[in-house]
Every structure is written in C-alpha cells, then in structure tokens.
Structure 1
C-alpha cells in the first residue's frame, strides 16, 4: 500500500477510526479457548460504561462456554470497503477482553436503552435468533494505513462514533455506480499527482472522504478533507460538491 496523501488536516483520530469500524456492518471473528466463530454482521454497540455488546446466533457452542463463567476472547473486526476493490480491507480492529452472555430480559432492557439514541433494527432479533453478549475490553488495537495504534479503553469509549457509519456503504456504492463524473472531478482536486486509473470511493466520514487509485505499482489512497466536520448526508453533499468545484448540491443524493 502506498502511503496515504491528504489535503489540509481534518481527519479522525485513531480512536474515532476504531469506533467507526464498529458502527459499520463489518464481519468479525470471535476466538476463545473453545473455538472460533465467524460473524457476518455482529451488530456491535459501545456502551457508556466501556463494554461492547455483540449479537451472536442462538444456541452456538460459544454460548455454552460462556454459561460456565466469563470467557476470555479476542474479537477481530475486518473493516471492508463498500465497493469491489482489488484489496477490500481498509483496517483491522482487535478487541481482547472477557465475554458474558446476557439473559433475554437483561438483553432487551439494554437494547431499549440503545434504541433511544440508535434505532438499530437488528436489536429486534434478540430472542428471535440472536443472543446479546457483552465484551469487557482490556486491550484495543486498531491498524490501518496510518499505522498500528494501541488504544486505552477510556480513550476508545470517549471517542465520538461517526454519524455516517451505517449510511456510508450505500452512499459509496451509489457514488461508484451512478456518478463517475463526480469521482473524476474529485480526482482533479487531489493534492498530489495521482495514477491514471479510475478513482474509486474508499471511505467517507465526518471529516472528509478518501479515494483509491488502483495502479500497476500498487494502491494509492488520497484523502480529501472537508472544510468543517459534517453531521448529515446533506452536509456531505455540500462538502463533496465544493471539493469537486461544483456549485450545486444535487449530485449523488
């Protein structure tokens, strides 16, 4: 991977990038002494007390292991790009800690508290195919093109989750499929010379967006910073069009 080029300075911190991984529907692998479980969509939530909840399939053998007491585990989250890239992995997040399964009543109460701020429909699966487990972290590590970062649990919990997390994937796919002209205009705004290849939308967050150029000598990622942090898709539209040198905000939305 060629080092990331950036414009200006707005970018999420390592802890914010780690929190963003959990906000997206990324695959995860849970490893304990008793085995390994691969999850397509673990429906993760970070709680104010510092714990992380996951939804596991009902009656999985790992739940039997947890029934005997707290279970040491490492959960690896693979942050994958939303479009079909040559190398789809954007970052990796490892959280090591202890897992505890919640009974259905406790899980539903926790889900109700979550839904007040985060209307995540996946929480409705509790008791209908999925069981909530709680991970108490003691080690958090995030690795991407910016480096490998060991995060304190307090730092991890205090980091703001990105407001665009679950919306990011559909928007990037829409941009890729329906607005190649806008992507080309964004490529022209890159702060350094880029390869003569099709720009691909790699990611977007409250501070900016990243393009990928897949060249014969490797992948080149270029980050374009917004003029200010954004909080909604409408604000993203305004910033993206400004980066592309367009005066309207009706492009990819």
Structure 2
C-alpha cells in the first residue's frame, strides 16, 4: 500500500493520531510476559493513562491486583477504516508501560466519568463479567503506510483526539453508500496516475480527507487537504464544498 501524503501537507501529529485511534478502537490485546494475552474491549486514553475494559477472568488482572507498582505490559490496537476495504487497517498502535488494577469500589464511578467524555456501551459491562485496568503509558509507537514513529508520554499527554473522531465512521459510511457522485467529483482532483480504480473514502480529520484507490494489483491512498483546519461541522461542510469547487 502506498500513500501520496507529502511532508508539507498539513496532517494530524502522531500523538493526535494515537489519541484518535484509541477513541475509535473496537478491540485490542494486552500482553504481559508469562500470561495469555487479554482481550481489550475499549480504550480510553486520558493524558498518559490508558483505561481498558477487560474480562474479569485472566491472569493479567490477577497479577496487576497483586502488584501495587504495576507490571510491565504492552497494549496493541488497530485503527480500521469504517467501511469494507481489501485492507482496512489504517494504523497500528503499541502502548507500553505498567498496568495497574482499579479498585472495585471505584470502577463504576470511574466508568461514569469516562462515559461523559468517551461514551461507549462496553462501559456498561463493568461489574458484569468485565473490569477496568489502567496502563500508565511510558511510550507509544504508531505505524502507518508512511512508516513508524515513537511518541513519548509527555507529548502524548498534551495531545487531543481529532474533533470528528466520534462521527468519522458514520460520515464515511454515508459518503460511500449514498454520495458516490461527490466521491467521483473529488476523485477528479487526484493525480492522473490515481484516477483509475475503485475510489473509497478511507479517513477524515480536521486537516483533510483521504481516499483509497483499489486496483486489481495495488492499493493507493490519496489525501486532499482542506484550505484550513476545521473546528466544527459547519467548517467541514464548507471545506468539502471548497474542494469540489477546485475540480
């Protein structure tokens, strides 16, 4: 898979991409030496603390409960496109640090607090076969089609998720299913060698929109940047309108 993203093109920084990917993640894997990896249902990344919903049973929870200073662990998760593509994974994230248990008497209150910022139905499972674990993140790595890079905990703490993280999936699905006319018009802006193939919306953020071009032999990504970063839905609508006007 190849991308056309250039160094001069405005894009989210790696720390912002990681924050956004964690908000959108549907599953992950928490690994601790000597234990069977634990399935992670959701991840809420607050500054450099990753709160995870995991099944009650499992050695990782037991080890964390018996280690007040935490145990070394790595959380792996994938950021996937919301529509069906030949290759859906947009990035892979690895968060490493120390995993800690969350006292049972604090779990429900903490889940309610998390839901206020990151609503997710899987938080309702806490106390019903699932629990919360906390990973204090020391380092993060993100791998995309452009390469891999490391982000330290301080940089990660100061980043915010993309403002459209919660709605990106439904917007792209709607664009792909109901607005192929708009997709075709935007595809007219692609470089000439990328105008052949099936064009699908791949990603959307405050800086631009990215498409996947699928041909029988390749998958290529092309990004169309907005003239200025978008802060709200009105800005986004105007930015897409401006792009169409460039064809």
Q: Is 1:67 paired with 2:68?
A: no
Q: Deviations over 1:212-250 (max 9, x none)?
A: 10123411101111122223334322222321229xxxx
Q: After the TM superposition, which residues 127-138 of structure 1 pair with which residues of structure 2 at under 5 Å, given as runs?
A: 127-138=127-138
Gaps of 5+ in 1: 247-253
Q: Please report how far the alpha carbon of residue 205 of structure 1 lies from its aligned counterpart in structure 2 after TM superposition.
A: 0.9
SS at match of 2:85: coil
Q: Contact 2:25/2:78 (CA < 8 Å) preserved in 1? A: no
| Residue 235 of structure 1: aligned partner | 235
| Residue 181 of structure 1: aligned partner | 181
Query: Aligned in 2, Cα 1:24/1:161: closer, same or farther, shift over 3 Å?
Result: same
| Residue 42 of structure 2: aligned partner | 43
TM-score, with length taken from structure 2? 0.89
Tell me how far apart the structure 2 counterparts of residues 154 and 191 of structure 1 sit (CA, whole Å): 38
SS at match of 1:166: coil
Q: Please report how far the alpha carbon of residue 96 of structure 1 lies from its aligned counterpart in structure 2 after TM superposition.
A: 1.0
Q: Contact 2:25/2:77 (CA < 8 Å) preserved in 1? A: no
Tell me how far apart the structure 1 counterparts of residues 181 and 228 of structure 2 sit (CA, whole Å): 24
Gaps of 5+ in 2: none
Q: After the TM superposition, which residues 18-97 of structure 1 pair with which residues of structure 2 at under 5 Å, given as runs?
A: 18-33=18-33, 34-39=35-40, 42-48=41-47, 50-69=48-67, 70-97=70-97
Tell me how far apart the structure 1 counterparts of residues 138 and 241 of structure 2 sit (CA, whole Å): 42
Tell me how far apart the structure 2 counterparts of residues 224 and 9 of structure 1 sit (CA, whole Å): 9
Cα RMSD of the aligned pairs, angstroms, is 2.2
Q: Contact 1:185/1:245 (CA < 8 Å) preserved in 2? A: no
Q: How many residues align?
A: 243
Q: Please report how far the alpha carbon of residue 55 of structure 1 lies from its aligned counterpart in structure 2 after TM superposition.
A: 0.8
Tell me how far apart the structure 2 counterparts of residues 63 and 181 of structure 1 sit (CA, whole Å): 50
Tell me how far apart the structure 1 counterparts of residues 167 and 92 of structure 2 sit (CA, whole Å): 20
Query: Aligned in 2, Cα 1:46/1:245: closer, same or farther, shift over 3 Å?
Result: same
Tell me how far apart the structure 2 counterparts of residues 177 and 64 of structure 1 sit (CA, whole Å): 46
Q: Please report how far the alpha carbon of residue 199 of structure 1 lies from its aligned counterpart in structure 2 after TM superposition.
A: 1.0
Q: After the TM superposition, which residues 92-111 of structure 1 pair with which residues of structure 2 at under 5 Å, given as runs?
A: 92-111=92-111
Q: Contact 2:139/2:153 (CA < 8 Å) preserved in 1? A: yes
Q: Deviations over 1:46-81 (max 9, x none)?
A: 224x21111112233422232221232111111111
SS at match of 1:151: strand
SS at match of 1:165: coil
Query: Aligned in 2, Cα 1:164/1:76: closer, same or farther, shift over 3 Å?
Result: same
Tell me how far apart the structure 2 counterparts of residues 199 and 86 of structure 1 sit (CA, whole Å): 12
